[in-house]
Amino acid sequence: MNGPMVHGGRVHRWCAEDHRGPADILDFSANLHPLGPPMEVWRALEAALPLIRHYPDDTQQHVKQVLAEYYDVEPDTLVCGNGATEVMELIVRTIRPTRIWVLEPAFAEYEAIAQRMRIPVQSLPLSSTPQYNLPLAELDGQVRAGELVVLNTPHNPSGWHWPKATWFTAVKQWTQAGRYVLIDESFLDFLPDAALETTVREATVNPHWFTVKSATKLFAIPGLRFGFAIMHPTWADRINTLRDGWSVNSLAQAAAAAAYRTAHWMHRTQTWLSAEQAYIRDTWQRHPAIRVHPFSVNFFLVKCPAESAGQQLTTSLRQAGLYVRSCASFPTLDSSYLRIAIRSHEENVRLWETAAPMLEALIDDRS
């Protein structure tokens, strides 16, 4: 891991460092839905407030039933957790793989979980031409039975989604040879064809397959923390029997149950996101000073011409109250890369109109 683990969304720290209030910060560093949480979630939280006088349901029975209906699986295939990170750690702690394969650049928690479990990590860099490509042949030749491959699609930090048809058969063959796979689908539900792209059905019948999802990004509830995994019922039963069920608090359970019953939310999400993706492609992606990687979801990866340029852009935007994610902490990347969340149209316009003159200055500096 390149130095200390870093995440986006560090609003409390920025307020202290920059002497600002939360209302003075526009956070483009965390890939959260800018229109959320849905109103149904706010109502559910208000109704659930009296429950904080009691311990939470350590079986998460109600929210599991809602999730089972939403994804058309059985409740006994579900493990809920205090965010997707806790769920991934529960999986790793239970299956105890002999090695964990991480495709870099990647979400830092994959390696952090392995370190906490004292499990060896094998990093494999992704090639970028121009989008990141999966090294399926290399993995097939190197991963052994009992080892775990973590596959994150849509990919963080690039925002690129590998279509299921391009890798599913090969990865399923790995599991038939005794290898484990964990598919992190934390951003998949932002896709219009998410129902076709998800791997939850395979996870319910394949004891070497785990599919992880997150409510945090899609419904904008990071302060509540709710993630879950779908897996073979044998593993789900083992994890749910041994884990601390009280880690999923009552408000998080109520919020997630309400969120996954908001039928209008996905339509509203697609209407917003398709329009704003087009705006990003007409602005950021067309600018000659930078390179924007192909992206599929609610964030995109920018490559500046040099590390100094990326640092300068990050700092200048921060001085204007606009916070983007430097990718200096991602292995294989550096501070010339910035990850930027897609927010509301007004906020996206403000970011672009602030950044555009800075990008023009980069062209002048090179000429």
Q: Which domains does the chain have, with CATH numbers?
A: 11-30+264-366 (3.90.1150.10), 39-259 (3.40.640.10)
Question: Residue 341 has which token pair?
Answer: 């969340």
One-letter amino acid identity for 266? M
Q: Which residues contact 264 (CB under 8 A, 6 or more apart)?
A: none
Single out the residue of 292, 362, 300, 303 nearest to residue 332, CA to CA: 303
Q: What is the 3-state secondary structure (H, E, C) of the chain?
A: CCCCCCCCCCHHHHHHHHCCCHHHCEECCCCCCCCCCCHHHHHHHHHHHHHHHCCCCCCCHHHHHHHHHHHCCCHHHEEEECCHHHHHHHHHHHHCCCCEEEEECCCCHHHHHHHHHCCCEEEEECEECCCEECCHHHHHHHCCCCCEEEEECCCCCCCCCCCHHHCHHHHHHHHHCCCEEEEECCCHHHCCCHHHHCCHHHHHHCCCEEEEEEHHHHHCCCCCCCEEEECCHHHHHHHHHHCCHHHCCHHHHHHHHHHCCCHHHHHHHHHHHHHHHHHHHHCHHHCCCCEECCCCCCEEEEECCCHHHHHHHHHHHHHCCEECEECCCCCCCCCCEEEEECCCHHHHHHHHHHHHHHHHHHHHHHC
pTM flag (> 0.85): yes
Pair of tokens at residue 32: 């959260």
Residue 53: Cβ-neighbour burial (10 angstroms; 0-12, 13-18, 19+): exposed
- Scan for tokens 């897996």, then name that residue: 231
Going residue by residue through the chain (367 aa), what tens digit of pLDDT does each one get?
Answer: 444 456 666 788 888 888 888 888 899 999 999 999 999 999 999 999 999 999 999 999 999 999 999 999 999 999 999 999 999 999 999 999 999 999 999 999 999 999 999 999 999 999 877 788 999 999 999 999 999 999 999 999 999 999 999 999 999 999 999 999 999 999 999 999 999 999 999 999 999 999 999 999 999 999 999 999 999 999 999 999 999 989 999 999 999 999 999 989 999 999 999 999 999 999 999 999 999 999 999 999 999 999 999 999 999 999 999 999 999 999 999 999 999 999 999 999 999 999 999 999 877 666 5
Say how many C-beta atoms besides its own lie within 10 A of residue 125's C-beta. Answer: 12
**What one-letter code names the amino acid at 239?**
I
